[in-house]
Amino acid sequence: MDMELSAQHKEAQKIFREFVKQNITPTAAECDRVQETPMDLIKTIADEGYLGALVPEQYGGKGMDPLSWGLLCEEVGHESASLLSLLTVHSMVIQAIVKWGTEGQKNKWLPRLATGETIGGFGLTEIKTGSDARNAKTVATLKEDYTSDEKTSSKDEGTAQFYVLNGRKRWISFGQVASLFIILGQLDEKPTAFLVERESEGFSTEAISGMMGFKSAMLAELRMDDCIIPGENMVGRPGFGFSHVIGAALDQGRFCIAWGSLGIAQGCVDACLSYTNEREQFGVSIKEHQLIQEMIADMITQTSAARMLCLNAASLKAKGDPSLIMETSMAKYFASRAAVKIAGDAVQIHGANGCSDQYPVERYFRDAKIMEIIEGSNQMQQIIISRYGYQKYQMSKMQEGKK
């Protein structure tokens, strides 16, 4: 794996950095304070084509390569983890449709997701079902002969099949504004994924505020009370919803979170290099104190290690290597953990200033903690990674036995 960025990727990184500096940095702290992301800002991101980054070109997107996408996530994560989560959940819906959608679903939704006309949301977690998401309690029932009126598009298209969904989804990033959600429910007790439009009959949302981090990620609870969706809105097959459809989306989500965590870590390093240079105590700048140097050295080393895991995941993704899933889990696990440690040290280095919203490190600190919880908590990653380790060990033993 080549650690050096190509000239093309360096150029892409420069463009992303400039875009973020001009459009995201100036309002990131204020958005966090008021717990809101202005629609204008989402439109600016969409107009740049970044919401369509992962939509294949044939459906109107940029078809961006994995490394460029990772670099974009890093730059956005560097300034606003909340906005990174917009890119994350939106791209998760895109990934689910690209990988498992029907041609009809692709033709209908991908062009709209590419332009940002449709904002995607990811509806997995429920009040009682978090890490054990496969056992979501939301229930879908297939009905035939919907006769009450002409509300379902399936009826418009001449098929009378539709689904009725009942359940709640909680902590849904950008649930206040997203217009198309991928929802996991149980159909005949089989985990099944569905596309649910905000406009669907029986669908409503309630805003959630007061989070520790991701404050401007406009979280919501999604409510489906006899929510009616067209028969063609099932994604994949019954029973494949978690293992395949949501699995593909989560894999994409972890990739974004790994790179976004790297962005937070790098943001902390940058802030600390500047602060320790300026701040003086005991007659010298604090960078002269060896205990500060120790923290800086650890921050830089851990950021560099996180970067290597992210680059590795991007390289495997570009090749379509099956080990990508595990390596992405490792990148997410390591980078988010490193971000928490690094952001904690960044606050320490800033002293009281680090506890104040006049400096960005307190926000980085709050946001970093969320990275350890979302897209599969770090305990879930540890379980997956250790299983993978044992599998590899057993395979190598079997191969040795064959020799």
Ligand X SMILES: Cc1cc2nc3c(=O)[nH]c(=O)nc-3n(C[C@H](O)[C@H](O)[C@H](O)COP(=O)(O)OP(=O)(O)OC[C@H]3O[C@@H](n4cnc5c(N)ncnc54)[C@H](O)[C@@H]3O)c2cc1C
List 221, 294, 375, 400, catalytic entry: 375
Q: State which residue, 12 or 371, has the beta carbon closest to ligand X.
A: 371
H-state helical runs in 24-80: 25-34, 39-47, 66-79
Under rule CB under 6 A, residue 370 binds ligand X:
yes
Which CB atom, from 293 or from 379, has the smaller least distance to ligand X? Answer: 379
Instruction: Quote the CA–CA distance of 309 and 330 in Å, as a whole number.
Output: 7
Smaller CB separation from ligand X, 295 or 330: 330
Site for ligand X in 317-346 (CB under 6 A): none
- Using the minimum distance from each CB to ligand X, give the nearer residue, 125 or 138: 125
- Decide if residue 275 touches ligand X (CB under 6 A): no
**Nearest CA-CA partner of 384 in 329, 328, 306:** 329
Question: What does the alpha-carbon distance between residue 388 and residue 322 come to, in Å, rounded to a whole number?
Answer: 12
Site track for ligand X across 55-94, x = CB under 6 A: ----------------------------------x-----
Query: Residue of minimal CB distance from ligand X?
Result: 130
H/E stretch holding 225 reads: strand 220-230
- Sites for ligand X among residues 132-191 (CB under 6 A): 171-173
Q: Which of 66, 123, 241, 247 binds ligand X (CB under 6 A)?
A: 123
- Distance in Å, CB of 338 to ligand X, minimum: 18
375 is catalytic: yes
Q: Provide the mask over 372-401, with x wherever binding to ligand X is found by CB under 6 A and - wherever it is not.
A: -xx--x-xx---------------------
Q: Is 124 in the site for ligand X (CB under 6 A)?
A: yes
Q: How far is the CB of 345 from ligand X (least distance, A)?
A: 22
Pair of tokens at residue 369: 């903690």
> CB of 350 within 8 A of CB of 296?
no
| In 51-148, beta strands by DSSP E | 120-123, 139-143
Q: Give dist(CA 253, CA 264) in Å, integer.
A: 16
Least separation in angstroms between residue 370's CB and ligand X is 5
Could you tell me where the DSSP H helices lie in 183-323? Answer: 247-278, 290-319
Answer for which of 100, 122, 334, 365 binds ligand X (CB under 6 A) is 122
CA distances from residue 120 to 65, 92, 194, 219, 354 in whole angstroms, order as listed = 20, 8, 13, 13, 34
Sign of torsion, CA 223 226 232 236?
Answer: positive
Does the footprint of ligand X cover residue 356 (CB under 6 A)? no
Q: Which of 50, 59, 162, 214 binds ligand X (CB under 6 A)?
A: 214
Kindly state the smallest distance separating residue 364's Cβ from ligand X, in Å.
Answer: 15
Site for ligand X in 193-212 (CB under 6 A): 211
Count interface residues toward ligand X (CB under 6 A).
20
The token pair at 397 is 């033993």
Phi, psi of 204 (to 5 degrees): -150, 165
Work out which of 35, 68, 95, 125 binds ligand X, going by CB under 6 A.
Answer: 125
Only one of the segments 125-133, 142-150, 223-231, 343-351 lies at the binding site for ligand X (rule: CB under 6 A); that segment is 125-133
Tell me which residue of 44, 49, 31, 51 sits closest to 178, measured CA to CA: 51
Q: Are strands 120-123 and 180-187 parallel, antiparallel or unpaired?
A: parallel
By the 10 Å C-beta count (0-12 exposed, 13-18 middle, 19+ buried), 17 is classed as middle
> Which residue number, 46 or 208, has a Cβ lying nearer to ligand X?
208
- Between 111 and 130, whose beta carbon lies closer to ligand X? 130
Q: For ligand X, which is the closer residue by CB, 353 or 377?
A: 377
Instruction: State the Cα–Cα distance between residues 94 and 63, nearest whole angstrom.
Output: 11
**Positions marked catalytic:** 375
The residues that touch ligand X, with contacts defined as CB under 6 A, are 89, 122-125, 130-131, 171-173, 211, 214, 217, 219, 370, 373-374, 377, 379-380
